[in-house]
Structure 1
Amino acid sequence: MSRIVRAAAIQITPVFGDDGLGTARKVCQAIRDAAEKGVKLAVFPETFVPYYPYFSFIQPAFRFGGEHLELYERAVVIPGPVTDMVAEAARDTGMVVVLGVNERDFGTLYNTQIIFDATGQILLKRRKITPTYHERMVWGQGDGSGLKVVESAVGRIGALACWEHYNPLARYALMTQHEEIHCAQFPGSLVGQVFADQMEVTIRHHALEAGCFVVNATGWLTDEQIAEIAGNPALEGPLRGGCFTAIVSPEGKLLGTPLTQGEGMVIADLDFALITKRKRMMDCVGHYARPELLSLLQDRRPAQTVHYTGEGAQDPTLADAAEVAP
């Protein structure tokens, strides 16, 4: 029997210069606005709370120490006030929410994706496995423990951030877990039109290859915000364009009109019968796979800086060791 889920890819602007909670409040209001339209799944942009570190793209590392420290002060601790706010909004509306945040774990920041179930429970907290280019000066690296698909109120959900979609083995790890909805997040307002063009190709290809829906959200900066971040008209160009908020079917078709400018939502009804229709033709982790020729080894053990031995000690990595044993 067919199952239909209404999803929203949300493109809005962050809030700068406050205590770090302003953007989270906008997220919660957007969740409630989407609920009024019957939405059951909402996806927000990459590291949207408190904001994506745009400064690191246009400034050399030795100059952005101050902005980096400010991001530390406003970053999200999990669990904490931001996750409590979003969990409450998800629970009140009965909505599954996928949110990108700058996570602070003591002395390191991470590009983190959080999946909240319709009950408000955090189903998954995963960290971008390899920050891209300028981002490596801002965030630490994630590990394989987050490359998971989770069962949610709207179906099996997987998530990747930005150029993780150019790591085919990371995408395949999620495909093997039979994701039904893939939640993609990009920063938006970056690089220019070529970034949006590449993004469209990327998410449509993943939908076709995985045989799943893709809900992709990008952020948006106003002219005033661009001027504030750049501090120099000559640096404003790299902070324009690059927005492509969209929803794609398992057949690679755009559902609705993508959003490339301004704030708003792309809303579509996801008919799960299309997943079976696509996979009947090509299931790359089933009848179209050749595991005797090609296979993937995934290490799901969380990265640890210390391993405990001795009487009364427990190594937290041992519980997952069986998952990666040859």
Structure 2
Amino acid sequence: MNHSRIVRAAAVQISPVLFSRDGTVEKVLSAIADAAKQGAHLIVFPETFVPYYPYFSFIQPPVLMGSEHLRLYEEAVEVPGLVTEEIASAARSHHVVVVLGVNERDHGSLYNTQLVFDADGTLVLKRRKITPTYHERMVWGQGDGSGLKVVETAAGRIGALACWEHYNPLARFALMAQHEQIHCAQFPGSMVGQIFADQLEVAIRHHALEAGCFVVNSTGWLAPEQIEQITPDENLQRVLRGGCHSAIVSPEGKHLCEPITEGEGIAIADLDFSLITKRKRMMDSVGHYARSDLLQLQVNMNAKPVTVNLETDLATDSAIEFTNSGKFLPNPYISVSQAPDK
């Protein structure tokens, strides 16, 4: 592990092309090229940015949101698929690590999914938000523990969580215990107002301090005309403003560049990994400051199994099992429940 390198990170605050997966992907590809020209090694996009965050679910009652929900199904992303191939190609071409939020379609279900592409274009992590928040439960299914892992990339050891998963301290600790160097956070933006932006700033700065890592946070943004597209009701339009805070935070909890709170833009900063050691020298939450004899976390990192088990050869007891298991780096402060590899 390199403890003294410098990595340039970019947090992209951007608006989607509403109701168009292809249009939004074009904006992603353009932003990757722009950030790469500025020397970025890591580029982070907002939560479920492709095709767009389901703002409709926040302002419409379930009985009225059927058509919008179905439209999201039609524009959602299959993994792997054409969208992932395009993003992988861009990552490889510009030699950058890309973290992208998508609405993932898996047959008849949608998921809030975070994708991490390494600088060679390899998809090294696909994780699903473990518990959709409030209105989101009408849109997305639940994720599982297989995505609660940190991955090695050209930019360093990366972990990711979406939105209010940052209020789940055990989920955060599961990543901390795997010694993440860069935590990639994603929020929708353009929701609730300034209080939402204030709260998410507290969350990302606290995680940086507690984990002793960098946090790169990206939020989305809606232009005024897009808010009118989503709803003509002026009372409802008010709750689709504010809540933006794209930022990059050091392990000491300090902003490394000016946060973006309005409009589109790219926040860029250099991450000096020696600051990780500087912070952890005083307080390492999963090392010398931990008390595994008193407090432990157990994580089930098995993928949620499909309910069908197809037996192909009863004579030899061989079978195709629709299950998967994640990989995990052992840590004395965390125990892992995981199925053996088949």
The aligned runs of 1:117-132 (5 Å cut-off) are: 117-132=118-133
Where 1:53 maps in the other structure, the secondary structure is coil
Residues 163-208 of structure 1, C-alpha deviation per residue, up to 9 Å, x if partnerless? 0000000000000000000000000000100000001100000000
Kindly tell me: are residues 281 and 264 of structure 1, through their superposed partners in 2, closer, same or farther at Cα, counting changes over 3 Å? same
Task: Output the amino acid matched with 2:337.
Answer: V
Q: 1:87 to 1:2 in 2, by over 3 A?
A: same
Letter aligned with residue 274 of structure 2: A
Amino acid at match of 2:239: P
User: Structure 1 residue 305: deviation in Å?
Assistant: 2.7
The whole-number CA distance in structure 1 between the counterparts of 2:280 and 2:318 is 50
Evaluate the alpha carbon distance shift between residue 124 and residue 232 of structure 1 in structure 2; reply closer, same or farther with a 3 A threshold. Answer: same
Counterpart position of 1:258: 259
Determine the C-alpha separation between the residues in 2 that align with 1:230 and 1:177. 43
Contact 2:248 2:267 in 1 (8 A): yes
For normalisation by structure 2, the TM-score amounts to 0.92
Aligned length: 325
DSSP 3-state at the match of 1:160: strand
Paired position in structure 2 for 1:79:
80
State the Cα deviation string for residues 69-124 of structure 1 (Å, max 9, x = none): 00000000011111111111100000000000000000000000000000010000
Report SS of the residue matched to 1:303: coil
Superposition deviation, residue 307 in structure 1: 5.7
Query: What SS does the aligned partner of 1:214 have?
Result: strand
SS in 1 for 2:112: strand
What pairs with 1:53-202 in structure 2 (closer than 5 Å)?
53-202=54-203
Using the TM superposition, give the Cα deviation of residue 230 of structure 1 relative to its aligned residue in structure 2, in angstroms: 1.4
- The answer for the alignment partner of 1:11 in structure 2 is 13
Moved over 2 A (4+): 305-310, 314-323
2:185 and 2:216 in contact (8 A); partners too: yes
SS across alignment from 1:124: strand
**Maintained 8 Å contact 2:19/2:52:** no
How far off is 1:231 after superposition? 2.2
Who is 2:24 aligned against?
23
Structure-1 residue corresponding to 2:337: 324
Quote how far apart the aligned CAs of 1:315 are: 3.5
SS in 1 for 2:203: helix
CA RMSD of aligned residues (A): 1.7
What amino acid maps onto 2:16 in structure 1? P
Q: CA deviation at 1:268?
A: 0.1
Counterpart in the other structure of 1:274:
275
Deviation at 1:210, TM superposition (A): 0.2
Percent identity between the two aligned chains:
67
Quote how far apart the aligned CAs of 1:41 are.
0.2
The answer for unaligned runs of 5 or more in structure 1 is none
Q: Which amino acid aligns with 1:223?
A: P
Partner amino acid, structure 1, of 2:148: L
Q: Which amino acid aligns with 1:29?
A: S
Q: TM-score, normalised by structure 1?
A: 0.97
Give the CA deviation at 1:17: 3.4
Residue 158 of structure 1 aligns with an amino acid whose one-letter code is G
The amino acid that maps onto 1:155 is G
Question: Given residue 312 of structure 1, which amino acid in structure 2 is its aligned partner?
Answer: S
Q: 1:272 to 1:236 in 2, by over 3 A?
A: same
The letter of the residue matching 1:324 is S
Q: Does the 8 Å contact 2:19/2:72 carry over to 1?
A: no
1:212 is aligned to 2:213: yes
- 2:305 touches 2:324 (CA, 8 Å); kept in 1? no
Q: What residue identity is the alignment partner of 1:3?
A: R
